[in-house]
């Protein structure tokens, strides 16, 4: 599966980056996620460094984004659009908490930013990539500006604007042109680098450390509340799937990982993640007993 290339800062990018018309895309602070579809319809996922035959093999922090893609990706639309579906690789961000606390209720679990065509041997231009994600049922990273004339753009004087996904500054801006040039301008206070720049590996989503000092009981109270489990049950039913204890607990645990932890492994008896999930299973069971589903 095609790897996503590193992105230099605009100052270090080739001189021809600032030519023609530019797209300015919000840099999203979150782990990198790529995927492609096999002819069978199976979607294979990868992070920055590895590709996984089984989606369950990805670190647990990717669970919400993997489910989001699997449930929304329009497989038939892709079949209708290309001769070989395996030639197309999609790149984006799993919008999990790293250093930015986005408004999780309105931020999609996956935001796409690039589409690779093996047939063309190139990434699609940013306007085409945006349209492709929309056609296939997924959200693209938001464009801050489209078709800005490069001669009118001064990166040294540019101020990174507010994020579209929370009340605060964007992690940065990715500057793109139509000939596959790209560079990044980061917010001065941003030390994470953002997922698109490849200035870090996604080691934080492989760790088993908790980023918040929160007890398993407190986490379960928040993420296993009757209101949250009710909303999860409705989403499960909307996809014509059975509402079970495991289905409820899995989705509640995914939300916990996304919003409160960089990653807590599903494996490892006695780990913080295992304790939270155990509490969520108990609450999901009580919810189903009380709700009569």
| 51 shares a domain with 183 | yes
Distances (CA, A) of 269 to 1, 63, 110, 131, 272: 33, 19, 29, 44, 9
pLDDT recorded at residue 205: 52
| 286 shares a domain with 171 | no
pLDDT recorded at residue 195: 53
Asked whether residue 208 is domain-assigned, the answer is: no
Asked whether residue 166 is domain-assigned, the answer is: yes
| 250 shares a domain with 187 | no
pLDDT recorded at residue 190: 52
CATH number of the domain bearing residue 77:
3.30.470.30
Domain of 14? 10-202
| 250 shares a domain with 194 | no
pLDDT recorded at residue 125: 93
Asked whether residue 211 is domain-assigned, the answer is: no
| 225 shares a domain with 163 | no
Residue partners of 196: CB distance under 8 A and separation at least 6: 4, 7, 27, 28, 32, 93, 113, 174, 184
| 222 shares a domain with 189 | no
| 272 shares a domain with 144 | no
Q: Are 136 and 74 within 8 A, CB to CB?
A: yes
Q: 176, 202, 228 — which closes off a domain?
A: 202
| 153 shares a domain with 232 | no
Per-residue pLDDT of the chain (293 residues; tens, 9 = 90+): 999 999 999 999 988 899 999 999 999 999 999 999 999 999 999 999 899 989 889 988 899 999 999 999 999 999 999 999 999 999 999 999 888 999 999 999 999 999 999 999 999 999 999 999 999 999 999 999 999 999 999 999 999 999 999 999 999 999 999 888 999 999 875 544 455 555 444 544 544 344 455 577 788 889 999 999 999 999 999 988 999 999 999 999 999 999 886 544 444 444 567 888 899 999 999 999 987 56
pLDDT recorded at residue 52: 94
pLDDT recorded at residue 280: 94
C-alpha to C-alpha distance for 205 and 58, rounded to whole angstroms: 9
pLDDT recorded at residue 32: 95
Asked whether residue 210 is domain-assigned, the answer is: no
pLDDT recorded at residue 189: 58
Q: 149, 167, 202 — which closes off a domain?
A: 202
| 231 shares a domain with 193 | no
| 221 shares a domain with 195 | no
| 161 shares a domain with 26 | yes
Closest listed residue to residue 260, CA positions, set 189, 212, 222: 212
Asked whether residue 173 is domain-assigned, the answer is: yes
| 223 shares a domain with 155 | no
Asked whether residue 38 is domain-assigned, the answer is: yes
Asked whether residue 3 is domain-assigned, the answer is: no
Exposure string (b/e) for 149-184, b if CB count within 10 Å is 16 or more?
eeeebebeeeebeebbbbeebbbbbbbbbeeebbbb
Asked whether residue 134 is domain-assigned, the answer is: yes
Q: 148, 174, 202 — which closes off a domain?
A: 202
Give the global pTM: 0.87
Q: How many domains does the chain have?
A: 2
pLDDT recorded at residue 216: 75
């Amino acid at each position: 599966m095609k790897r996503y290339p590193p992105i230099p800062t605009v100052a270090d990018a080739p001189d021809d980056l600032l030519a023609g018309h530019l797209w300015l895309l919000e840099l999203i602070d979150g782990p990198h996620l790529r995927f492609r579809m096999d002819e069978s319809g199976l979607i294979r996922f990868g992070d920055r460094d590895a590709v996984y035959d089984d989606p369950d093999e990805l670190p647990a922090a990717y669970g919400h984004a993997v489910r989001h893609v699997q449930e929304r990706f329009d497989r038939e639309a892709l079949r209708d659009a290309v001769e070989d579906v395996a030639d197309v690789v999609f790149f984006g961000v799993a919008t999990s908490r790293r250093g930015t606390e986005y408004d999780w209720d309105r931020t999609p679990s996956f935001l796409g930013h690039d589409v690779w065509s093996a047939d063309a041997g190139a990434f699609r231009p940013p306007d085409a990539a945006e349209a492709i994600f929309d056609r296939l049922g997924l959200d693209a990273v938001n464009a801050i500006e489209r078709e800005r004339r490069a001669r009118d753009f001064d990166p040294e004087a540019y101020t990174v604007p507010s994020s579209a996904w929370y009340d605060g500054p964007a992690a940065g801006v990715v500057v793109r042109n139509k000939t596959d040039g790209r560079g990044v301008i980061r917010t001065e206070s941003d030390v994470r680098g953002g997922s698109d720049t490849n200035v870090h590996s996604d080691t934080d989503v492989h760790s088993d450390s908790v980023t918040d000092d929160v007890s398993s009981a407190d986490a379960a109270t928040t993420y296993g509340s009757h209101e949250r489990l009710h909303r999860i049950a409705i989403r499960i039913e909307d996809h014509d799937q059975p509402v079970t204890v495991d289905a409820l607990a899995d989705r509640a645990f995914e939300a916990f990982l996304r919003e409160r932890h960089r990653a807590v492994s599903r494996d490892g008896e006695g780990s913080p993640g295992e304790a939270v999930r155990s509490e969520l299973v108990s609450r999901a069971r009580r919810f189903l007993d009380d709700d009569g589903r």
